[in-house]
């Protein structure tokens, strides 16, 4: 329930702009957020492995 409340709170416009958090729209995670892809690192990795993000390929070096 606490996570749901925080997700809802993140959608509201804050009193001060500084209080705004970027949250992953898929899982609601705050840390490890990538602005370019609009998701957290965990969801990014999962979707990249499945090939659902165009232009991203697994590196092999």
Annotated binding site for Zn(2+): 24, 27, 40, 43
**DSSP 8-state secondary structure symbol assigned to residue 53:** S
What residues form the annotated binding site? 24, 27, 40, 43
Q: Measure the CA–CA gap between 7 and 53, rounded to whole angstroms.
A: 24
Q: Measure the CA–CA gap between 11 and 1, rounded to whole angstroms.
A: 16
């Amino acid at each position: 329930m606490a996570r749901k409340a925080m997700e809802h709170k993140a959608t509201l416009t804050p009193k001060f702009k500084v209080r705004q958090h970027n949250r992953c729209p898929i899982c609601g995670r705050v840390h490890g957020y990538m602005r370019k892809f609009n998701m957290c690192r965990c969801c990014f990795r999962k979707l990249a492995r499945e090939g659902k993000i165009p232009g991203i390929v697994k590196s092999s070096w």
